[in-house]
Structure 1
Amino acid sequence: MLWKTKGQRPWCFPSNKKTRGHDIMAAFRVLQGSPARLRLQVMLPDCAGEHFMDKEKNQNEKVGRIRRLNDRFRRSGIGGDILITPGIQSLGDEGLQKVAAKVAEFDQFDHDNDPHGEHDFGAFDHDGQRIFWKIDYYGPDLMSGSEDPSDPDATRRVLTIMLASEY
């Protein structure tokens, strides 16, 4: 059945769980042989646009969830492992604590250092040295990349903190 309810465009057709998309053939069968057939051809781009907007909304929600998980991990260490390089280790305990605090408090994200909006990279200066940190996404076994970084059960995060000169 075609949608004709308030708030939805007419002649768009619903998706179903099996196809996860618009069931074009079912809509075509409904309209086939009727004067509305031409309307179907004209209206498909609008329906595809709605589907694209739904996918974009889902992607934005996924990125937002990744961002929140990364922020939580960076601030608390929950959900992954933290690695430091020899250069960071050479800063001593006090230097390491200051660097860790700067990583946890980092909030200077912009399009240059965070083009995907995931809060997975940062850079700052500490005692005249440039520091980089990066969060990578692995599967629970740490042997391969995560298939879905927005799923904390399927992802093990690894935060690496390094001197820029070690990159």
Structure 2
Amino acid sequence: MTRLDRRAALGAVVLAAAALAGCTATAAPAPTPTPTRATSGAHASSRDIAVGDCLDDAAAGSTTATAAIVPCSEPHDSEAFAEVTLSGDSYPGLDAVQAESQTACQGDAFANFVGIAAADSSLQVSYYYPTEDSWAAGDRTVTCTVYALDASGKAARTTGTLKDSGR
């Protein structure tokens, strides 16, 4: 599983839209976050990140396999807010997986968690998604994360949850 680099262009959404035929995603309602299960700085496989986990992952690249999980009560980079399950037997390709992940993470799951639509929010979305290898092993899970930007447009650290922040 890899993480979308926050600098990745949304152009992939448009380019891959055609590739999504026959590939669907379902998102479970965002549960109320619970206190993180990890201690400060604990690393977890990107496949083990759970909804409600707060992460120190701003420096993570697009192919990261782990993320540092920290208590949400401490400053952190992002927060896992939803899991989306992609469908399909064969790997649809990187562009299609990223486009479907982006669409799903910015949809109802985001609005249900933050309290407003992604298009109206100052918050940003990123996600951890299956690779071709993990897909072949049965991985279809996308973990959606949300993060804030500072005045200069760089990722900002947050303390506490962004749930129902209306930002």
Judge same fold: TM > 0.5, yes or no: no
Tell me the TM-score normalized by structure 2. 0.24
Indicate the structure whose relative CO is greater, using CA pairs within 8 Å and at least 6 residues apart: 2
The answer to which structure has the higher helix fraction is 1
The answer to which structure has the higher strand fraction is 2
The higher radius of gyration belongs to 1
Tell me the TM-score normalized by structure 1. 0.24
